[in-house]
Amino acid sequence: MPTNLVLIGPPGVGKGTQAALLVERLGLLHLASGDIFRSEITAGTELGLKAKAFMDRGELVPDDVTIGMMEARFTSEVAKKRGFVLDGFPRTVAQAEALDCKLKSLSIEITRVVSLEIDDEIVVARLSGRRTCPNCGRIYHLQTKPPTAEGQCDNCGGALQVRADDNPDTIRNRLSVFHERSEPVLAYYAGLGRLHRVDGDRKAEDVYSDVIEGLIV
Ligand code: AMP
């Protein structure tokens, strides 16, 4: 049986970092809605144009746009892989219901939904220092995980960037959107008996161990 995981958590809790470890160690396919939106923006597509204004304000892109984009990713290609890790989707109950419906039609089951948890104030500190590489996606932090050469990606030499939505006002808005729109998604999956809660305020390796533990419970 392939391992199919959903990672849910506030911005900055480390979903991208955990997803990268899962991809590297379990060979899962990484489907990150935020990354897909950002690549659509970079490519200047119509979808990217629709999403950009919402993203810049730290709001959610409307459900119909997001669900359509993610459904297109769930083809038989996905079913044939070893499994997937969903990162940043679903973020609303309507998205979770649409996902269930789509997966059911493909006879794919979600193995576990992992809730990564952390205090809001720690998120603000984490995201204010976050730097990302636009070429390879590697994530750094000015205090806790700086690159060897300032402003330059260790992996590919790309010029590191501050994400447009990583400024304190937008971060706070994204956090309140998470509490209002995404916490009900946790209740939805808890009701289905699929939720595994993990403390996200620890070293990435410790968080990873707990994520994996959730797969064998
Ligand atoms: P992320 O990279 O996951 O932090 O997402 C960045 C931004 O992309 C979010 O603040 C939203 O504006 C948008 N976004 C990503 N995933 C979703 C989603 N599932 N539903 C709606 N908007 C999303």
Residue-wise pLDDT tens digits, 4-53: 999 999 999 999 999 999 999 999 999 999 999 999 999 999 999 999 99
Active-site positions? 15, 91, 130, 163, 174
pLDDT at 81 over 90: no
- For the ranges 18-32, 70-84, 107-121, 172-186, the lowest mean pLDDT is seen at 70-84
Give me the mean pLDDT over the 61-78 stretch.
Answer: 86
The reported pLDDT for the residue numbered 26 is 93
Distance CA 160, CA 172 (A): 23
Which of the listed residues 8, 52, 55 should we mutate to test ligand 1's pocket, taking the one with most ligand atoms within 8 A of CB? 55
Residue-wise pLDDT tens digits, 172-182: 999 999 999 99
Distance CA 10, CA 116 (A): 8
Q: Does residue 10 line the site of ligand 1, with CB under 6 A?
A: no
Taking the model in full, what pTM does it have? 0.88
Band the pLDDT of 137: cuts 50, 70, 90: confident
Distance CA 46, CA 8 (A): 27
Distance CA 130, CA 50 (A): 25
Q: Which residues contact 22 (CB under 8 A, 6 or more apart)?
A: 5, 28, 30, 85, 208, 211
Distance CA 34, CA 61 (A): 10
Task: Give the containing element (helix H, strand E) for 97.
Answer: helix 93-105
Domain 4-119+175-215: CATH superfamily is P-loop containing nucleotide triphosphate hydrolases (3.40.50.300)
Q: Does residue 67 line the site of ligand 1, with CB under 6 A?
A: no
